[in-house]
Amino acid sequence: MRRKLRILYVAYPLLPLSDDSCGGAEQVLLAIEREMRRRGHDTWVAA
């Protein structure tokens, strides 16, 4: 059985994090956060 993780992602507070974010780093962070949540982990994003 896999252990459920609690993950906090910290984003640079210049732009909001969304599907419309234009920066590559923001898009990667959003994709990773969504995948980890889909896998059952608790995730939070702070910006």
Query: Which tens digits make up the pLDDT trace of 27-45?
Result: 888 899 999 999 999 999 8
Question: Average pLDDT, whole number, for the chain?
Answer: 84
Taking residues 12-37, report their average pLDDT. Answer: 79
Which tops the pLDDT comparison, 19 or 35?
A: 35
Taking residues 24-29, report their average pLDDT. Answer: 82
DSSP-assigned states of every residue in 6-41: EEEEE--TTS--STT--SHHHHHHHHHHHHHHHTT-
Q: Cβ neighbours of residue 11 under 8 Å, at least 6 residues apart? A: 17, 26, 29, 45, 46, 47
For the chain, what are the domain ranges?
A: 6-46
Percent of the chain, pLDDT > 90? Answer: 45
